[in-house]
Amino acid sequence: MSCSERFPGPGECAEMIKKAGSVVALTGAGISTSAGIPDFRGPRGLYVTRRYDPDLVFNIDHFHRDPLHFYEFTRDFIQMTKDIRPTFAHRALAALEANDLLDGVITQNIDALHHLAGSRRIIELHGSYWTASCTKCTKGGIRGATGEWWDEAVRTGPNAPIVNCSFGGGVIKPDVVFFGEAVNGFEAAATMVAQCNLLLVLGSSLTVYPAAILPSLAAGKVMVVNRGNVMLEPASGRYFIEEDLNDFFRAVFEELGLTVP
């Protein structure tokens, strides 16, 4: 549904954040597109520009049979993202958490930019490239695997582009949620949303399930900042802002009197 209601502005947003007592953020692809990461399914996304079939790339049964499709996608994804840095909005959420104004971030994104921005309490519903695991053993886990590690491993691995664990010999799989796998931490995310007094929905059109269910679980206020339509019914306590995320948060932080590293 189109966002027909408008929020008064960053000043009132800042007041709501200060007074809420408990704030949670739910982020989607829109928070990362301004960093240079196109929506996978968008006109500049890897599904289109490299003609990848998501049913092959992210199907867990196919991965176990032949991980090459996923690794070829990963090689392009890492090449595309290795020089990308968190946006002002990513860093603003980390700063809110550091100032005890944000309980945590729930994200649909796999790009690990929230980690790189400094957020600590993160639920990655679809996983990310930040960690990776061996498919055969428990010793081959890697943390902070995004960027340089994957770039080097995919480029120079003995079976390049496929990377195998040096302990168990299994294929190293980044902890990205594939089709056929359960999303990460949904119950914890649902509890966070149900218990918070203010839910910030940032850069998400709320069309992907089960993340799209979360705002309906909020007992407190919901503030949506997104360019374009959002699949959430207008209701009392729901505010819709169709503005650039980074510009909006710069204005909010001015009102809060906070700085972003």
What letter represents residue 143's amino acid? R
Are the beta carbons of 251 and 35 closer than 8 angstroms?
A: no
Contacts 24+ apart (CB under 8 A), 58-66: 58/176, 58/178, 58/179, 59/178, 59/179, 59/180, 60/178, 60/179, 60/180, 60/181, 61/180, 63/173, 63/178, 64/135
Q: Which of 84, 86, 58, 82 is nearest to 72 (CA)?
A: 58
C-alpha 63/C-alpha 80 separation (Å) is 22
Question: Under 8 Å CB-to-CB from 245, ≥6 apart: which residues?
Answer: 30, 31, 34, 87, 89, 202, 203, 225
Indicate the SS3 state at residue 239. Answer: strand
User: Between vectors from CA 31 to CA 253 and to CA 75, what angle results, nearest 5°?
Assistant: 140
Are the beta carbons of 13 and 225 closer than 8 angstroms?
A: no
Question: Under 8 Å CB-to-CB from 19, ≥6 apart: which residues?
Answer: none
Catalytic residue list contains 126: yes
CA distances from 38 to 5, 62, 137 (A): 27, 25, 34
C-alpha 228/C-alpha 244 separation (Å) is 11
Query: Which is the catalytic residue, given 90, 114, 115, 126?
Result: 126
Output the six-digit token pair for 143: 């943390």
Catalytic residues: 126
